Amino acid sequence: MRIMVLGSGAREHALAWKLAQGRSVERVYAGPGNAGTAEVSENLPVVDPMRFDTVKEACREKGIDCVLVGPEAPLAAGVVDALRAEGIPAIGPDRSAARLEASKAFSKTFLVRHGIPTAEAATFTDEAGFRAHLAANRGRRLVVKKSGLAAGKGVLVSDNPAELSSFGAAILREDAVLVEECLEGWEVSVFGLSDGITHLSLPPCTDFKRARDGDQGPNTGGMGSICPVPPADAPFMARVETEIVCPVYEALSREGLAYPGVLYFGLMATASGPKVLEFNVRFGDPETQVLLPMIDADLGAIVGAMANGGLSVLASARAGRPWAGPGGALGVVIASRGYPEKSEKGVPVEPIAVTRSGEAMVFHASTSRDSGGRIVTGGGRCFTVVGIGDDLAEAGRRAYAAVPGVRFDGCWCRRDIGARFTGPVEKGRS
Ligand code: AMP
Ligand code: GLY
């Protein structure tokens, strides 16, 4: 099988890396990929994920059998519909099912309609109604969200009415706004894989969304990630499967929204049980970078089964067995100066000094090579350094030991990824 991974982030680097290891894949392409994917697959720099003609052309030219779509924007814009119309199998939802992620108003009504546990919410398209709702709920901690895609930056959790009001008013100029009750608890992400009929859940993981240590500062796309999540033990995960994952897949089938692809359940474990915060219709970034090293399986075979409706065979072969792999993986994102408020790109990266020992790995995001062959950054979240160990604490030590091996002007990272579960990491570059 010839697979193209669509996108250029660290998630796509991790996907290309994992696919390239399996026996069922003849060739892996990355469209357009980055300087990291070039080391494990063949980059197709002419591919622009938002220009479907370039994607289709690359598929024809390279005889690609299946496209695995990384980012949300092309899914929301209908890349899967465009590929299927040409007879090219694609892993991901069509435009209609992509609304589970691209419209929080849509996903909230879907959840409520099917009685799936989620935060109570009201949706507004006009400022008067929104402000009246805030006034009626003065004193409560609330969550204001942009309905559409916002790269992880469309949510404000606050008890300050003025702050909530101006955040929501800015969104209302271009989109609908959701106001939700603020759920208390701990967060966990579960990734479901489906061929449109059967589903299979991956081990629990979580990302760390805030920009600064101690979960302070603005929300980002994710500054780090861990897999597994210690409190998400087997009884908890069984409850997630029964109360959330299975009912959601059943509801998707009933509504004709089931698709071959990935569904990410962003959950809050509250005192009254797990509740859905959000859906993504794709792999998460930086969750994928820790999830894939934890899975002892041929990703190409899984992708093939998702594309061909053969996941039940794979699922029954695995039945009851956990995904055997290392004990823990911990990812630290290295970002450019000023992220998330601004982003510097084109900054030269010193030669990366992380040996491929199996203890740590570096996944690139949007890097490229300049005319002199040097790696230069692509801005925002530039790399994910992943440590792997017998447990999360060892994974964390190995990740942070490897972080100084990735250097460029203005680079920074959080120093406390996973520390809540592993204890503090040693002081170092901040
Ligand atoms: P979302 O994009 O909906 O996942 O929101 C991003 C982040 O905002 C989540 O990962 C949570 O940390 C936080 N968040 C979103 N909705 C809620 C909620 N109803 N209660 C508490 N925190 C929330
Ligand atoms: N880390 C969350 C996301 O991929 O959107």
CATH number at residue 273: 3.30.470.20
pLDDT at 57 over 70: yes
166 close to 205: Cβ distance less than 8 angstroms: no
Element (H, E) at 58: helix 52-62
Map tokens 């992400």 to a residue: 189
User: Mean pLDDT over residues 132-148, rounded?
Assistant: 95
Confidence at 430, pLDDT banded by 50, 70, 90: very low
Q: How far is the CA of 187 from the centre of ligand 1 (A)?
A: 9
Q: Which residues of 19-36 are buried (b: 16+ CB within 10 A; e: fewer)?
A: bbebeebebbbbbbbbbb
Within 10 angstroms of residue 53's Cβ, the number of other Cβ atoms is: 9
Q: Domain check: are 198 and 312 in the same one?
A: yes
Spatial neighbors of 385 by CB under 8 A, at least 6 apart, are 331, 332, 334, 354, 360, 361, 362, 399, 402, 403, 405, 406, 413
Q: How far is the CA of 17 from the centre of ligand 1 (A)?
A: 30
Q: Domain check: are 244 and 223 in the same one?
A: yes
DSSP 8-state code for residue 359: S
Spatial neighbors of 246 by CB under 8 A, at least 6 apart, are none
Element (H, E) at 13: helix 10-21
157 close to 218: Cβ distance less than 8 angstroms: no
Instruction: Say how far apart CA 95 and CA 90 lie, in whole Å.
Output: 12
Helices within 63-103 (DSSP H only): 72-77, 79-85, 95-102
- Strand positions, DSSP E, 125-205: 142-146, 155-158, 177-181, 186-195, 199-201
Within 10 angstroms of residue 142's Cβ, the number of other Cβ atoms is: 22
Confidence at 106, pLDDT banded by 50, 70, 90: very high
Q: How far is the CA of 224 from the centre of ligand 2 (A)?
A: 10
pLDDT at 425 over 50: yes
Residue nearest to atom 15 of ligand 1 (CA): 277
pLDDT at 183 over 80: yes
In a domain, 404, yes or no: yes
Cα atoms in the Cβ-side hemisphere of radius 13 Å centred on 349: 32
pLDDT at 343 over 90: no
Confidence at 429, pLDDT banded by 50, 70, 90: very low
Determine the pLDDT at residue 321: 67
Q: What are the residues facing 26 on neighbouring strands? A: none
Percent of the chain with pLDDT over 70: 97
Q: Which of 137, 143, 223, 272 to mutate to test the pocket of ligand 1 (most atoms within 8 A of CB)?
A: 143
Respond yes or no on whether the N-terminal peptide bond of residue 286 is cis (omega within 30° of 0): yes
User: Mean pLDDT over residues 9-16, rounded?
Assistant: 98
Determine the pLDDT at residue 54: 98
Relative to beta strand 42-43, strand 27-32 is parallel
Relative to beta strand 121-124, strand 90-91 is unpaired
Instruction: Say how far apart CA 366 and CA 349 lie, in whole Å.
Output: 12
pLDDT at 53 over 60: yes
Relative to beta strand 27-32, strand 90-91 is unpaired
Determine the pLDDT at residue 428: 44
- Domain edge (last residue) among 61, 95, 129: 95
Q: Domain check: are 190 and 177 in the same one?
A: no
Confidence at 424, pLDDT banded by 50, 70, 90: low
- Domain edge (last residue) among 292, 317, 342: 317
Q: How far is the CA of 132 from the centre of ligand 2 (A)?
A: 32
DSSP 8-state code for residue 296: -
**pTM of the predicted structure, to 2 decimals:** 0.95
Q: Which of 222, 339, 330, 193 is nearest to 286 (CA)?
A: 222
Element (H, E) at 269: strand 260-270
- The one-letter code for the residue type at 99 is R
**Residue 24 sits in which domain range?**
2-95
When mean pLDDT is compared across 117-121, 322-326, 372-376, the lowest value belongs to: 322-326
Q: Domain check: are 75 and 150 in the same one?
A: no
Q: Domain check: are 251 and 199 in the same one?
A: yes
Tell me which ligand sits closest to the C-alpha of residue 151: 2
In a domain, 100, yes or no: no
Q: Domain check: are 126 and 144 in the same one?
A: yes
Q: Is 394 in the pocket of ligand 2 (CB under 6 A)?
A: no
Torsion of CA 204, 209, 215, 219, to 10 degrees: -150
* Ligand 2 atom closest to the CA of 283, numbered from 1: 4
Phi, psi of 202 (to 5 degrees): -90, 165
Domain count of the fold of the chain: 4
Determine the pLDDT at residue 323: 75
Q: How far is the CA of 199 from the centre of ligand 1 (A)?
A: 25
pLDDT, tens digit, for every residue of 355-409?
A: 767 899 999 999 999 999 999 999 999 999 999 999 999 999 999 999 999 999 9
Map tokens 């609330």 to a residue: 142
Q: Which of 72, 112, 149, 157 to mutate to test the pocket of ligand 1 (most atoms within 8 A of CB)?
A: 157
Q: Domain check: are 64 and 88 in the same one?
A: yes
Grouping H, G, I as helix, E, B as strand and the rest as coil, residue 18 is helix
- Domain edge (last residue) among 136, 152, 181: 181
Q: What are the residues facing 17 on neighbouring strands? A: none
Tokens of 351: 């030669």
Q: Domain check: are 288 and 376 in the same one?
A: no
pLDDT at 144 over 80: yes
Residue nearest to atom 18 of ligand 1 (CA): 182
pLDDT at 423 over 80: no
Q: How far is the CA of 277 from the centre of ligand 1 (A)?
A: 6
